[in-house]
Structure 1
């Protein structure tokens, strides 16, 4: 009987030690995951910086309209979405409402849907009433012109007096309120 009590006590101590070590490993994994997440966010690609010139592009919109860099005149809101990204799905309704009130209407809003056809049709139908919509691959012409590598990317561009189209804001916040009407 004393041998059985000793064995049970030893198993109990081993189980408690195992539980303590498991809790320690879980805490370390969480800390490690936070470090990886912070590094990933710090290394996230950014589009063109404020004041940088937009590259040339020539594409056909979802409405079969030819669009080039020359078609961006005045202040233009440009957005890049991917139907495969969760933040894009969350930001789409906010962007749509923001774009609905953007000065100049749909002619001053360009929405680019990057990636495969899966879900892109729903995005296009949601955006069509408020923007000129372009669907392209992830490495498409418009994405390359704006150096958009992360989604969603929201930019405000405008034409300089010398005719160049430059980025005025590369982190448009559609949650901060609606744009002022012209």
Structure 2
């Protein structure tokens, strides 16, 4: 009889422990669900009408790049060498930048990487755009609130005020001359 009593108490304690652990797992799953929902609802970058913050950095050619240097309409792209869609859309961005009359000042490309793997992207972009290589959440990324890749924006500034986003969904999968 004592054996059955001890066994019943042991099973009861084991079930209580299992219940507590299950409740802990459920709580963590709810927290993760909330975090994922918040991440999905955040836009990939600044949106139409947003003013771009101040930033100062140096392009790969050594020239200074800042918000005040973005004059007129400027095509801005954020790419990461580890991102497959970036690799697929990079040639189209270069084509769009080249179509802007060959003025490198009309396009800014930001290659976001934590390693030394930007050479291929820089080589493809440098003839048609000012190119900046920076780590995630570098000065340009913070100013444009860019955290998804590829991100392509159109900004405009008269040189006296900070640039404003005029298009936050520049289509890179549409042939030139076709409207999205």
TM (normalized to structure 2)? Answer: 0.72
Structure 1 runs, 4 residues or longer, greater than 3 Å off: 39-45
Query: 1:165 aligned to 2:174?
Result: no
CA RMSD of aligned residues (A): 2.2
What is the match of residue 45 of structure 2? Answer: 47
Task: Measure how far apart 1:93 and its partner are.
Answer: 1.1
Cα deviations by residue, 1:118-164 (Å, 9 ceiling, x for unpaired): 43111001100010000000010000000000000000000169623
Q: What is the CA distance between 1:53 and its match in structure 2?
A: 0.2
Alpha-carbon distance in 2 for matches of 1:103, 1:167: 21
Query: Which one of 123, 127, 130 corresponds to residue 128 of structure 2?
Result: 130
1 CA distance for matches of 2:69 and 2:55? 10
Per the alignment, residue 77 of structure 2 pairs with 79
8 Å contact kept, 2:69–2:159: no
**Normalising by the residue count of structure 1, what TM-score does the alignment of the two structures yield?**
0.71
In 2 relative to 1, CA 104–128 (structure 1 residues): closer, same or farther, beyond 3 Å? closer
Q: Indicate if the aligned counterparts of 1:85 and 1:151 stay in contact, CA closer than 8 A.
A: yes
Long gaps (5+) in structure 2: 1-36
Taking the TM superposition and a 5 Å limit, the aligned residue runs for 1:146-157 are 146-157=144-155
SS across alignment from 1:75: strand
Counterpart contact for 1:83–1:115, Cα < 8 Å: yes
Count of residues in Structure 1 that have an aligned counterpart in Structure 2 = 142
Secondary structure class of the residue paired with 2:75? strand
- 1:68 corresponds, among 62, 66, 69, to 66
Q: 1:81 to 1:131 in 2, by over 3 A?
A: same
Partner of 2:104: 106
How far apart in 2 are the matches of 1:85 and 1:40?
22
Q: In the alignment, is the contact (CA less than 8 A) between 1:83 and 1:118 conserved in 2?
A: no
Which stretches in structure 1 are left out of the alignment for 5+ residues?
Answer: 1-38
